[in-house]
Every structure is written in structure tokens, then in C-alpha cells.
Chain A
Amino acid sequence: MTLRAIIAEDELPAQEELQYLIDTYSSIEVTDRFDDGLDVLKYFQENTTDVLFLDINLPSLDGMMLAGSLAQFKHKPIIVFTTAYKEHAAKAFELEAFDYILKPYRKHRQILIE
């Protein structure tokens, strides 16, 4: 079964870059892309997905707070934080992140997900 994923990222080139890598090197299907934290939360109130690629810096509701909210959900997605700088990574694991990937993206990280 193909894993389904959504991307939460407020930088358009970063969204595209991540989608490109996922499409090229994995069999994950990206179904939606968001650039606002609150929109992601709304999405999970009505939908569910397998993987959430989550940027930490997001307007309205930042990645950390979003992950905290999602932890209360019955059907939690696997959260993969996408961050430019490692200082956020430790905190991400406290929030039961599955993994984190550093920008600029490199393909080997994605392979882990498969």
C-alpha cells in the first residue's frame, strides 16, 4: 500500500524541492501542500494521512505547537520535521517525531522512511 503524505511548509521552493525528492526517490504520494499551520490543523479535523512533513516556522500556528496538538488526535500521522537547523531537532523528538530532515534536503533521509 502506498503511503500518503502532506507537506506543511511556507516556502514555495522548499515545498517543491521536498515534493520533487519524495516523488523521485520514494513511493510516497503527496496529496496536499499547506503553507499555514492553522490550515493543517483544520485538515486533520476532517481528514487523515500517513505522514506529515512539517516545517517548524509556519504562520498562524508553528510546527512545534501543531505537533503538540496533533499528539491528542486519535489517528496521528507520522511526523517528519523539516528544519534548516539542528537546534530544533531535539525538541522535535520530545514530541514523538518519527524523524527530522535537514534542509537543504538530501535523498538518503527520505529512503529511511520507506
Chain B
Amino acid sequence: MHSTLEMIISIFERAALLLIILFFLTKIKGFKEILQKENHSVRELSVLTVVFCSFAIFGTYSGIEVEGSLVNIRTVAIFSGGILFGPWVGIITGIVSGLHRYLIDIDGITSLPCLITSVTAGFASGFINRKVKKHRWWYIGIGAGILSQTLTMLLIIALGEPRSQGISIVEQIAVPMMIGEISIGLLILLVHNIEGEKKQIAAAQAKLALDIANKTLPYFRSITPASLQRICQIIKEEIDADAVAITDTKTVVAYYGLGAERYQDTSSIVSEMTKQAINSGQIVIRNEVDDHHLPQMHCLLIVPFQEGDEVTGALKIYYEKENRITDSLQTLGIGLAQIISNLMEISRIEQIKETANKAELKALQSKINPHFLFNSLNAIASTTRRDPNRARELIHNLSGYLRYNLELHDEMIAIEEELKQVRDYVEIEKSRFGDKLQIIYDIDPVQIKVPSLLLQPLVENAIHHGVRKRKWQGAVYLSVKAREKDIRISIRDTGVGIDPEIVEKLYKDEASVKNIGLANVHQRVRLIYGKGLTINRLDPGTEIYFDIPVKEGK
């Protein structure tokens, strides 16, 4: 004769045993993956069915006998199997374990009720699996278990012969059996935890991939072997690999980590394995390599990356130790390869654009106006007779001007260099227009760099579209003024005044070819200093200025 408390404890002991077995099963890699999956193959379902049938039959055998009945945890196994893995597992487990219970003791007083409730439990568990939301499984499972035990008890009373014995049995076993059903909840939660663990790993990996993307982003701006190597270094450190490499379709373009000395020469040919990955577009995983040309590496993952449909290279991850390429690393590798190929593609497009812009700009900036050149030479020819010394100076001015235009220079140049070119230019123009043209400089001694070939077009504009259009004398004022927070460069003339339509179009970036010089200056100033030219119509004339911000402490 067992007390109720003893029976409750024993039933939990058995349930605990199931939990322990299940827990150990989760430590088996293959089985854990089955538990973590959402959809299962027939084979996997068969494995699960066998496991839960064993649990249920174990439940029957480990039952505590009470007047010919068994206090057991069979339905715990049926319910948890069915709820967790669906009707097939639940129903088969229910039928098999129910029949088993019936057949081992056909004449037993509770055998038939047990068969009926086992099969019912199988169907009920499948129903819960299909119709109830996952997060509610555990307590719905407990409830359903208790209900099924209630059904068992009613059946024992209804079918048990003699009835008095049935009632006696129910009195003793009802409470422990029902309380024992709590274990269904525990089993379900255990498996849910394993699934949660998988989600956490996935989340951690997504975060890692994002971190790597963030850290490597700056190096994709301009792709060079050095920047690619830095990218490899970041990946290596983040994923704790022994080496990381990036290849194009033929050569290893960057390598960082163990064995790097072999790749000092940047034109190393890719390995056969990489070729295979690039040619097939498929990932290559080798967990036990002993034939690689890096003898210390025993484990490698090669993920080819694509731009459009074309494989353009591969990301390679190396480990010294064997069996380091796990499923999660593989997923991460694919993600990283995708990020790398996307960023490389974007960077390439940007670079092409930039180069095109630069070339276009350069051509535009340094284009020498043929009118200016031939008119200058004509003026010099004339001056030669009147004043050979002046002519000589003018030739120097013209040479200086041409040299500045023709020689390639950096985008930014010291302002005195730029002003020297303006002076050369102005001297020549003065020789052409004589007294008609006056240039007044008001230059503060500032030490700054300015975009090259910026001032001369503005002065040219002031002379030819301002002063020259008027019959009488005109002046151009060029000033560089150091102000509190910036330096203002202004070009003012007393000419005809700019057409407001031109200004409007310029501000809208719709300038016509005729005003392309001015538009080009406007765009460059805006690009470099954030704000373009400010153009004011004066009476008479035009004022054009822009401000160069000066950094604190300079």
C-alpha cells in the first residue's frame, strides 16, 4: 500500500528520468538538430516516434502497481511527443503504447481504459500540435493530460469489474496520476528551450555579421589590396579564425592571419579547392584537410561571391584545428560573402562615377579658351613693337598661366598659387583692354588651400561678361577677407550686371553650356564647402562670393 505522497514522488521520479534522458539526447548533435527543426522528414519523424514509443512503454513498465492498476507516466510521453512533433508521433505512440499496455495484461482491470485513453491522448496531442499556438502548448498540454486522466478514471469506474475495486483504485491513483501530468509541461519546455537556444545563436550571428559589416564599411570606400587586407583582418578577429582571405577569380587579393608570409606576393594563384568553389559557385567545406598548400591549416570554408550571375571571387576562412566549420559558421560565411560582394559592387560603381566626374571636371577646368590664347598672342605681337620689355613680361605671364592650366595638380592648392595664376591672367587681359580694365586686389594674408582653378574663371567671367560688355571703363575687385569664422572670397565688377535668369538656372543646376564655367565653379564650391556661390546683382555690376569655413585653432 502506497501513500498518495509516495506515489506522487515516484511518478515525478519517472518523469524526471524521462527529462534526463531527453536532456542527454539533446546533447547528441544530430538529435539536437532534429529537435530544433520546424519541419521534419519521414525519417526524422520515425526516429522521434521510436523515441517517444520507448518513453511511453518505459512509462508503462515503470508503473507502480496498485490493486492491478499501474500508476504511470505513459500519457506524459504520448502527450509530449504528439504536442511537440505532431499527430503522427502522437497517434502512433498512443496506439503502440496503448496496445502494449493492453496486451501485457489483457484481463487487467484497467487495461481497456488505458488502451482507450492512450489512443485518445495520441489524437488529442496531435490536435493540440496543429491547432494551438506554440507558446501555449505547455499548459494546454498539462490541462489535456489531466483531462485524459479524468477520462481514464471514469472509464475505470465504468468498465472496471468489480466496480467497488475500480472505485478503490481510482481513489488511490487519481490524484498522483493527474499531478504527474505536470511533467508534460516540463518536457515541452525543455525542448522549447533548445529551440530558443537556436534562435539566440541565430540572433547572435546576425549581430556578428552586422558588426563586421559596420566595421569593414569604411574600407570598402576605396578598394585597394591594403583595404581588403584590413577587411580580412576584421573578419578574422571577429569570428576568431586563424586566417581569412579574399580572392578574385584567379588570385588571392588579400590574406590575413597565420601563414600570411606566403601571400606577401599579391599575385598568388588561388588553390584548386578555391577554383572548384569559383567554378561551381558552391560552398566548399573541408573539415579535415591535410593536402592544402598551407600545411598548418586543417579546416577551411570557401564561400564564392557573386555580382549578378557571375562569380567574382571568394571569401576563405581557415582554421588550424579540425572540425571547426559548423553549420552556424557556414551560414555566417554565406552572409559575409554576400555583404562583401554587395559592398564591392557598390564601391566599384561609386569609383567609376567618381573617376568619370573627375576626368570630366579636369578637362573642363584646364581647358584653355582658344579665344583667350590667340587674342593674348595677338596683343603680345602688338606690344613687341611698342614695348619689347612689356611684351617679354606678358610672355612670362602667359607661360605661367598655361603652365598652371596644363600641369596636373591636386584638387586643393595654396591660395597664393591660385592668386598668382589670377594675376598672370589679369596682366594679359589688361594688356588687351588697356585702361578700360581696372583690377583692384584686396587680399588678406591667409594661409589656406582652395580648390584649384576656381578664382580665375570667376575673374574671367567678371571681365568678359561684366566689364567688357560696357563701352566705358570698368573695374573688377578681387578680395580675400579673413572673417571671424570663415574667409570670404569675393569678385565684384562694375559691368553690365548678370542676367537674373542665368543666376536662377545656376542655382537650380540647369545652367546652359554657355555658362558651364560658372556652373562648374558653383558646383565645386558647393561640393567642397557645402554652400555654392552667392551671386548678387549690383547697380552697376555683379558680386559673386563664397565662404571658406576656417577650423578652430587654425
Contact = CB atoms under 8 A, between A and B. Distances in A.
A and B held together in a complex: yes
Interface of A: 10-14, 16-17, 20, 35-36, 38-39, 57, 59-60, 84-85, 102-105
Contact of A36 (B370, B378, B386, B471): B471
Interface stretch (B215-223, B264-272, B428-436, B475-483): B428-436
B470 A17 contact: no
Contacts of A39: 471
Nearest to B369: A85
B432 A11 contact: yes
Contact of B431 (A13, A84, A102): A13
| Residue among B371, B383, B431 having the largest count of chain A Cβ atoms under 10 Å | B371
A104 B377 contact: yes
A13 B471 contact: no
Given A11-B379, A103-B375, 9 more contacts: A10-B436, A11-B378, A11-B432, A13-B431, A13-B434, A14-B382, A16-B382, A17-B379, A20-B382
Contacts of B524: none
Given A20-B382, A104-B381, A14 B375 contact: yes
Closest 7 CB pairs of A and B: A84-B374, A17-B382, A13-B382, A103-B378, A104-B378, A13-B379, A11-B432
Contacts of A59: 468-471
B385 interface: yes
Contacts of A12: 432-434, 436
Contacts of A20: 382, 385
Interface of B: 370-371, 373-375, 377-383, 385-386, 431-434, 436, 468-471
Contacts of A35: 436, 471
Given A10-B468, A14-B379, A59-B468, A102 B374 contact: yes
B385 to A, nearest CB: 7
A57 B375 CA distance: 11
Contacts of B378: 11, 13-14, 17, 84, 103-105
A66 to B, nearest CB: 14
A23 to B, nearest CB: 12
Contact of B433 (A11, A84, A102, A104): A11
A10 B380 CA distance: 15
Residue among B373, B378, B385, B434 with the most chain A CB within 10 A?
B378
Contacts of B471: 35-36, 38-39, 59-60
Residue of B375, B433, B468 with most chain A CB atoms under a 10 A cut-off: B375
Given A11-B433, A59-B468, A105 B374 contact: no
A12 to B, nearest CB: 5
Contacts of A14: 375, 378-379, 382, 432
A84 B381 contact: no
Contacts of A10: 433, 436, 468
Contacts of B370: 84-85
B495 to A, nearest CB: 10
A53 B469 CA distance: 20
Contacts of B468: 10, 57, 59
A57 B468 CA distance: 9
Contacts of B374: 84-85, 102-104
B377, B382, B434 — which one has the most chain A CB atoms within 10 A of its CB?
B382
Contact of B383 (A13, A60, A103, A105): A13
Contacts of B381: 17, 104-105
Contacts of B377: 103-104
Contacts of A11: 375, 378-379, 432-434
Contacts of B373: 84
Given A20-B385, A60-B471, A13 B371 contact: no
A59 B370 CA distance: 20
A38 B434 CA distance: 20
Contacts of B385: 20
12 contacts: A10-B433, A10-B436, A11-B375, A13-B379, A14-B375, A14-B379, A38-B471, A59-B469, A59-B471, A84-B374, A104-B378, A104-B380
A13 B432 contact: yes
Contacts of A84: 370-371, 373-375, 378
A35 B386 CA distance: 20
B464 to A, nearest CB: 8
B425 to A, nearest CB: 15
Contacts of A60: 471
Contacts of B470: 59
A104 B371 CA distance: 11
B24 to A, nearest CB: 91
A12 B370 CA distance: 19
A79 to B, nearest CB: 19
A39 to B, nearest CB: 8
Contacts of B375: 11, 14, 84, 103
A103 to B, nearest CB: 4
B462 to A, nearest CB: 15
